[in-house]
Amino acid sequence: MVLIENIERLKEVLFRVKSNGKSISLVPTMGALHQGHLSLIEKARHESQVVVVTIFVNPTQFNNSEDLAKYPRTLEQDLELISEYTDIVFAPSVEEMFPTPPAEKYNFGSLEKVMEGASRPGHFNGVGIIVKRFFDLIKPDKAYFGEKDFQQLAIIKDLVKQNNIEITIVPCPTVREENGLAMSSRNQRLTKEQRDIASQVYQILLQSQKMNTESIQEICTFVKSEIAKMEDIQLDYFQIVDDTTLEEVENFDNHPGVVGCVAFFIGNVRLIDNIRYH
Ligand code: PAF
């Protein structure tokens, strides 16, 4: 595994890889890596000849400076975790990626107006900026994204479509801790007790999945009222949406895919999760 911190060196190494006709997979991350990331990297390992992992805490996607400052940074540990499965780690500085403030403006239409987009203004433009720059730089055949960030996945697919990028986006299932909590770098900021409490939100989602009803309203009411009973959890949103348009659905008819998405705070840590109904 080679660790690269500057763009020129990355270009040199990738030029050699491409001259040898090797297939490249990209796993973009912000570091603080866990088993969820590892599952993406392992999948990439099986499906391509060269695996590139980016580790970059992207300031343009944070709309809260405290959240950016507190985002865990654990490069040494990260490198140890992934060394067996990764060929190239690209971990640039902010100055390397953004020598001047980035000015790109993406329009993801209604996809960016709901849920995370509504709660975190500018977040998806920041994600679009960095992911497009990595795609342009690395030109991978495939890129891997976790389904935990369900809306991000929809945004990335749209970015690829809008810009006619030749790439296969590979969605990867959410990996969970034993208690059901979706793995997230932010979990590192929780105590053991908070992790257990946060995992109960997923248990509520599971119960809602098993409800014997076709009424979206009933499911929404159930989830929101159960979460409202939890003293340590502040619900940001729970929405049941079409899995392609991300528009809220009123019934299951005419929607081949329907997903419930939740965002909540435990202490000052904000977590997201989702569950598929259809
Ligand atoms: O999902 C993430 O970790 C980030 O949003 C991504 C895709 C690496 C872009 O910074």
Query: What gap in Å lies between CA 82 and CA 97, rounded to an integer?
Result: 22
251 part of a folded domain: yes
Do residue 161 and residue 218 come from a single domain? no
In ligand 1, which atom is closest to the CA atom of 185?
3
277 part of a folded domain: no
Q: What is the mean pLDDT of the chain?
A: 97
Q: How many domains does the chain have?
A: 2
Local confidence band at 96 (pLDDT 50, 70, 90 cut-offs): very high
Q: What is the strand order of the sheet 258-266 is part of?
A: 233-242, 258-266, 269-276
Q: What is the mean pLDDT of residues 231-237?
A: 98
Q: List 147's β-bridge partners, or say none.
A: none
Query: What gap in Å lies between CA 54 and CA 27, rounded to an integer?
Result: 6
Going by alpha carbons, the residue nearest to atom 1 of ligand 1 is 29
Chosen domain end from 140, 172, 204: 172
Do residue 75 and residue 113 come from a single domain? yes
Do residue 14 and residue 151 come from a single domain? yes
Say what the pTM is: 0.96
Going by alpha carbons, the residue nearest to atom 8 of ligand 1 is 29
Query: What gap in Å lies between CA 253 and CA 250, rounded to an integer?
Result: 9
Domain range spanning residue 214? 185-272
Do residue 166 and residue 236 come from a single domain? no
Q: Is the CB of 143 under 6 A from ligand 1?
A: no
Is 37 one of the annotated active-site residues of the chain? yes
Q: What is the pLDDT of residues 26-44, one digit of tens each?
A: 999 999 999 999 999 999 9
Please choose from 97, 133, 152, 153 the residue to mutate so as to test ligand 1's pocket, defined by most ligand atoms within 8 A of CB.
152
Separation of CA 248 and ligand 1 centre (Å)? 24
pLDDT at 253: 93
Cβ atoms of residues 271 and 186 within 8 Å: yes
Catalytic residue among 34, 37, 123, 255: 37
Query: What gap in Å lies between CA 56 and CA 67, rounded to an integer?
Result: 15
End-to-end CA distance of the chain: 41
124 part of a folded domain: yes
Do residue 107 and residue 166 come from a single domain? yes
57 part of a folded domain: yes
CA 15 to chain centre: 28
Do residue 111 and residue 8 come from a single domain? yes
Query: What gap in Å lies between CA 253 and CA 180, rounded to an integer?
Result: 30
Q: Is the CB of 131 under 6 A from ligand 1?
A: yes
214 part of a folded domain: yes
Q: For residue 228, give the CATH number of its domain.
A: 3.30.1300.10
Local confidence band at 21 (pLDDT 50, 70, 90 cut-offs): very high
Do residue 93 and residue 168 come from a single domain? yes
Phi-psi domain of 63 (left: phi exceeds 0; alpha: psi -120 through 50; beta: other): alpha
Separation of CA 253 and ligand 1 centre (Å)? 33
221 part of a folded domain: yes
Going by alpha carbons, the residue nearest to atom 9 of ligand 1 is 127
